[in-house]
Amino acid sequence: MSFTMVPVELLPEPFRTKVEGIQALGGDPSFFQFAANARPVVDFYWGDFYGSLFFNGTVPIRVKELVRLRLAAHSGCGFCQVGDAESARTHGLTDEEIEAVMAFELDRFGAAERAALMIADLTAATQPPKPADPSLLDELRTHFSDAELVELFTVVGVLNGMGRMLVATGFVPATCEVPSPE
């Protein structure tokens, strides 16, 4: 089955610029061109989710970038890894920090960031979900307010769901080997 793609030249701004940026990074913008068939989805995902929550919520963007990178490491999605790494750099992460996240190395991060990364590990789409250890939830509570925890868990949930959908629909190949966290 093939999906109907909106040609790049017919995409509305700023969505067209986003697709052109993906192409410039060597990524495949097919999902974005398909999603453009449903303007409310585009407005929700790139406007509300990313514009209002991911880049403007209460949890530091750095933490959300770390979590997003970690989920990309779990999924093995090379496209996500390239695009997310570029965004993470834009928001202050170093190449060494990005490499550590992708290599499942927690030691170079502070306690709050480690706890957030552990939630990403626990909820990654590469394994069935299971309840978090109470000590991890207690650790999260020492670093994040209840409102921040709702935001963090929602970001993880939306990103995981989108990742699963992209693989299931064939927009992202599920052929990359994914290293296991220790």
3-state SS of the chain is CCCCCCCHHHCCCCHHHHHHHHHHCCCCCHHHHHHCCCHHHHHHHHHHHHHHHHCCCCCCHHHHHHHHHHHHHHHCCHHHHHHHHHHHHHCCCCHHHHHHHHCCCCCCCCHHHHHHHHHHHHHCCCCCCCCCCHHHHHHHHHHCCHHHHHHHHHHHHHHHHHHHHHHHCCCCCCCCCCCCCC
Note whether 64 and 52 are same-domain residues: no
Residue ranges making up the domain that contains 52: 10-56
At 64-115, the pLDDT tens digits run 999 999 998 887 776 677 778 888 999 999 999 999 999 989 999 999 999 9
Note whether 77 and 36 are same-domain residues: no
User: pTM to 2 decimals?
Assistant: 0.86
Please tell me the predicted confidence (pLDDT) of residue 112. Answer: 97
Note whether 30 and 68 are same-domain residues: no
Please tell me the predicted confidence (pLDDT) of residue 181. Answer: 41
Note whether 83 and 37 are same-domain residues: no
At 127-174, the pLDDT tens digits run 777 899 999 999 999 999 999 999 999 999 999 888 888 888 888 776
Please tell me the predicted confidence (pLDDT) of residue 126. Answer: 75
pLDDT at 24 over 80: yes
Does residue 178 belong to any structural domain of this protein?
no
Cα(106)–Cα(129) distance, integer angstroms: 21
Does residue 121 belong to any structural domain of this protein?
yes
Does residue 104 belong to any structural domain of this protein?
yes
Please tell me the predicted confidence (pLDDT) of residue 72. Answer: 87
Does residue 179 belong to any structural domain of this protein?
no
**Closest by CA position to 83, among listed 10, 20, 16, 173:** 20
Q: Give how many domains the chain has, as a whole number.
A: 2
Note whether 86 and 125 are same-domain residues: yes
Does residue 4 belong to any structural domain of this protein?
no
